[in-house]
A and B are shown apart, each in its own frame.
Chain A
Amino acid sequence: MLNKIILLVLTTTVVSLTLCGQEDISISLDEIILSDAKLEQHAAGSKLLSISDTLSVTPNHTFTDLLRYQSTIYFRENGYGAVSSASLRGTSASQTAVVWNGININSQLTGQTDFNTMAIHGQKDIKIRHGGGSAQYASGAIGGSIHLNDVHKFNTPWTTEIGLGYGAFDTYRLNYGVTHGSEKLAIALSGGYINSKNDYAFLGTDRKNENGAFNNANISISGSYLLAQNQVLKVYQNAFSGDRQFPFSLTAPSDDKYQDHNSRSLIDWSIYRAQSISSFKLAYLYERFRYFPNRERPDFQQGQSKNIIAKYDHSHIVGSIRLNGIAEYNHITADGSSIINAERKLFAGSILLTHQLSEKLSYGLNLRRELVSDYSSPVVYAIDSRLQLNDQHMLQVNASKNYRIPTFNDLYWSGPGATGNEGLVPETSMQAETSYSYQAPEIKISSSIYYISTANMIQWSPDVRGIWSPNNVQKTRQYGLELSLAITKKIQDHQLSLNQQYAFVRSINADTSFDLIYVPRHKTSSNLSYQYESWSVLVQSIYNGPVYTTTDSSSALDGYFVSNAELSKHFQKNSKPELTIAVSMNNIFNKNYQNVAFRPMPNRHLQLQIQTKF
C-alpha cells in the first residue's frame, strides 16, 4: 500500500522536492505525506507492526476487536462494546500511548484511551510500536504506542466507498469514504455509524446482555495542500460521539450509561529545503464524558478537558546524520463534577538523532526534557541501534527511560470517598529489548525479548479514614517474548496468507511478587486467509491465557480460544463499481468466555456486509 503511494507521489510534483544525490540519508516521501514520519525515522531499534484497516469487509466491528485479533495487545473489555482498555507487554492501561498523526491523544482525565470510543474504518494507517517511546511520544509510551495516521494521495481520481452491514443483536453499520488527489490538493473524508442493541445471549444461562446497547458516529476530514513547490499545509479533523449503556454482569444489574464526545484538530505547515524540513503544528484536542448513574434520570456527572498544542519541529540532515529538534508547548485545562478548573502548562524540548554509520549499521539517540507547571517531570531518553546484516536478517536493540504522568483525576479529583494527590510524580520506567527479524519474499519472522522495570506506579488506595487517594507506591517489572510469523503464498490463482503472533509475558508486582491482574501470560492471534479468483475466506483466532482477577492471585479467570470466520465474494473486480458481499460468523465454536470476570462475551453470531467502491 505504502509503496504504491510513494510511487504515485514520485511521479508527481513532489518529485522536484526530493533530493537527488544525497549521501546516506535523504528526505523521504513519507515525511511529506505523513505528519508522523518520525515513527519510522527515529526508531532504528523499535519493532513496528502494521495493522490493516481498510474500508473493505472485516469481521471486526470495533477498534478493540481490530487490534485484539491482529496484535499481541490484550484488552480488558467490560462486556462487548463497553469500556475497553489496552495493554501491551504486561503494562497498565495508561502505559500504552495512542498517537494520532504524531499527537499523543490519551485522555487527560484518565491517562488511557477507551478503545470503544475510537472508530474503525477511519484510519488508513495503523502501526503498533512495541516498547518505550516517551522521548518521542511523551507520557504513557512505556509498553508501547499505537499510531493512527491519515494518508493523503496526490494525483488520484475521485474514489468513493460505501459499506453497509447488518447482523445479529440488531447491529447496523454504515461506512463512507471519499478520497481525491489533484496535483496540488489531496483530500480524504470518512464517516461511520454503528448502532447495536448488543443483547447477546449469556451462554449457559437463560439471560441476555441487558442494558448493553451502544451507538456511535465518527467523522474524519483531512487534506494536504501544496502551498508552494516546497511547502505543504496539512489539515486534520476528527470527531467522535458515542452513547452506550453499561451492561449487566452475571451477578449484578445496571442502569447506567455513558456519553463520550471527542474532537481532534491539527494543522501542520511544513517547509522543505535541500537539507532540512521545518514544520509548525497547532493542535486542539477536546474530550468530554457524561456518566448517567441511572439512564432514566436526567442527572449526570461529567468531565472535560481541552488541550492546545503548539509544536515547532526542525530536522536537518548533515551527511549521514539526521538531527531533529522539537519544541512543544501544551496548555491543558480540565473541569467537571469532580475536578474544579484545573490547569497545566507544559513546555518540552526534544532532540532526536539518527546516525547511519554504514549501509548496515545505524544508531539513534533521543532525549526529552519537560518543564511542567504542576509536577516535576524526569528527563527521558532512548538509545537504539539497527544492524541490517543483509536483505534478510536484521538485529535491533534499544534501551530507554520512559514515563507516565499523573492524570488530572490523579492530581485533582475531589469527589465522594476519594481525593486526588497533588504531590504525585510521574511513573518512571527503564527498559531494554532486543529483536531479530528475518524477511524473505514469502515469509517474515520476528522475535523480541524485553525487560521493563517501573517505579513510582500510581496506585489508588483507601487511607485509615476509608478515603481513596493515589500515591506513588508500587513497583512492577515485566519481561517477555514476542514472536511473529507472516507467510504469503501464491500458486496460480490460489493465494494463501497467514499472520501469526504470539506473546509471552510475566508482569509482576515487585513488592508482593504476585502477578498483575488481568495480564495473560500467553496470548496468540492468528489470521489465515485464502483467496481464489473472486472468493476469499478468512479465519481468525485468538487465545487469551488465564488471568488473575485479584491482586493476591486468589481468583483467576479461565483462558479462552475464540475464532471468527468470513466468506466474501468480489463482484466486478477491477471494474467500477466494485462490489463485495461478505458473511462473517464470529465466535464460530460458540465459546462461553469472559474477558472480564462475570461479564460474558458474545455467543456465536452472524453479520452480513455489502461494500461498494466507485
Chain B
Amino acid sequence: MTKANYLLTMILFMTLAWTSCNDDDEEMEMEMEMEMEMEMEMEEELPPYANGILVANEGPFGSGTGTVTFISEDLSMTSDAIFNAVNGADLGNVVQSIGFHSNDAYIIANVSNTINIVDRYTFESKGIITEGLNNPRYFISVNNKGYVSNWGDPSDETDDYIAIINLSDYSITGTIQVDFGPEKMISNDNTLYVALQGAFGQNNKVAVINTMTDEVDSEINVGDVPNSMVIDGDDNLWVMGGGAPNFTGAETAGSLSKINTGTNRVDNAFEFEVTEHPSQLSFDSGTLYYYLAGAVYELPSSGMTLPAQTMIEGVSFYEMVVNDGKLYGTDAKDFSSKGDLTIYDLSTMTAVQTLEVGLIPGGVYFN
C-alpha cells in the first residue's frame, strides 16, 4: 500500500467513523430529550433544589467564579454549578456566603462586590445587587430587612459598614457604620449582633444593632477575632474568638464568650491556650460544637469547662456546620482542586459519606 493510499484509507475510515458517531449522537439526543421531558414533568411537582444541601464554593481568588453545588437529601445526587446551569451566568469571584429570606437566597460574591438573588428552590435569578457593596461578607434578614456586612478596604479600619437591603426590590436603602471588620451576623428578635472580626487585622467586639432604629446600640467586648456565633435554646449568645494568630507577633488565646441577650453582657468566658485558635462554632440540641487544630470538640451549653476530649480527630475542615444530628465538614484540599464534603453521624461520630463538591467549599446550607 502506498503512502497516499494509506492516507486516503485513513481519511475514509475517519469519515465513516464520524458519520456513524453522528447517528449515535442523534439517538442519544432523542433519548436525552425524552429524559428531559420526564424531568420537566417531575419539576412541576417539586422544584429541583427543594430538598437537600447547598454548598457554596468560593472558587479561585481574583479570577474565575465561585459556584453552588446541590446535594439531594438522600445524598445520592450531586449537581455542580447550579446557578450557571439554570441562568447561564456566573456568580462572580469568591462566593463568600449565602443568606436566606423566605424563598430568596442571597449569594454573595466578595471580590466581585455582587449579590445574586435567586429562588432558593429553583435557583432562577430574581435580581442582582452590584452597587453599594464594598467587600461584602454575609447576609441576614431581621425585622423584614436585609443586612450585609461590608469590610470596605480590608486594611482601612474606618470604612466598614452594614448595608441595609429592601427585601422586595433588592435596593440598598441605607448603611450603618460599624467598627473594624464586620463578619458573621446573628439575630435575636429585632436585635442584630455583628461579629467585628477585624478583616485583614484583628478586632475583639460584637456590635449590637437595634433594627427598629438601624443604629448601633452598644458594643460588647469579647476575645480577639470573633469568628463565629450561635444562640442556644436559652437565648444566650455564644461568640467564638479565634485569638490573634502567631504572625502578628502578639499571639493571643482563643476564647468562648457566653453573652446574655437580655443584658448584652458577657456572663462567662472560657480561655483556650495561647497557641489554640478555635473556630466554626455550631449549636444543635443543647450542645455546642467547634473545630480546633484538626479536631472537633463538643460542649453542653450548660457546661462550665472546656472539653479535653476530641469527638472527631484527624480532619481538615475549611467549614463545619452541625444540623439535625449530623455534622457537615468541608475540606478545601490544596485550594486548587475540587474539595469535598464529609457528613458525620453525631450519635456515632463516624463518617457517613464523602461527596465531591466545588473549588474551596466554604459554606453549607440546608434547603
Contact = CB atoms under 8 A, between A and B. Distances in A.
Interface in B242-283: 245-247, 277
Interface of B: 60, 62-65, 90, 92-94, 109, 111-113, 153-156, 200, 245-247, 277, 293-294, 315-316, 318, 332, 334-338, 359
A461 interface: yes
Contacts of B334: 459, 461, 551
Contact of A297 (B62, B109, B153): B153
Contact of B63 (A249, A294, A414): A249
Contact of B337 (A294, A462, A464, A551): A551
Interface string A446-464: 0000000000000101101
A178 to B, nearest CB: 42
Given A415-B247, A550-B338, A251 B90 contact: yes
Contacts of A416: 200, 245, 247
B247 A419 contact: yes
B93 A252 contact: yes
A357 interface: no
A597 B60 contact: yes
Contacts of B318: 466
A194 interface: no
A596 interface: yes
A249 B65 CA distance: 10
A598 B92 CA distance: 11
B91 to A, nearest CB: 9
Nearest to B113: A253
A549 B200 CA distance: 27
B338 A253 contact: no
Contacts, number: 85
Q: Shortest 6 CB-CB distances between A and B: which pairs?
A: A464-B294, A552-B337, A252-B93, A249-B63, A598-B63, A251-B93
Contacts of A556: none
A598 B64 CA distance: 5
A253 B63 contact: no
Contacts of B93: 249, 251-252
A254 B155 CA distance: 15
A321 B92 CA distance: 64
Given A297-B153, A597-B63, A599-B63, A462 B335 contact: yes
Contact of B247 (A249, A414, A464): A414
Interface in A503-541: 517
Given A251-B90, A552-B337, A467 B62 contact: no
B111 A253 contact: yes
Contact of A249 (B62, B153, B277, B315): B62
Among B62, B65, B293, find the residue whose CB has the most chain A CB atoms closer than 10 A. Answer: B62
A596 B63 contact: yes
A299 B155 contact: yes
A552 B338 contact: yes
A251 B63 CA distance: 6
A290 to B, nearest CB: 15
A464 B153 contact: no
B112 A251 contact: yes
B68 to A, nearest CB: 15
Given A252-B112, A297-B153, A551 B336 contact: yes
A251 B65 contact: yes
A416 B200 CA distance: 8
A269 B115 CA distance: 65
20 contacts: A249-B93, A251-B63, A251-B90, A251-B92, A252-B62, A252-B63, A293-B155, A297-B153, A416-B245, A418-B247, A459-B334, A461-B335, A462-B335, A464-B315, A467-B245, A517-B336, A550-B359, A554-B337, A596-B63, A598-B65
A466 B247 CA distance: 13
A554 B360 CA distance: 13
A419 B246 contact: yes
A249 B337 CA distance: 20
A6 interface: no
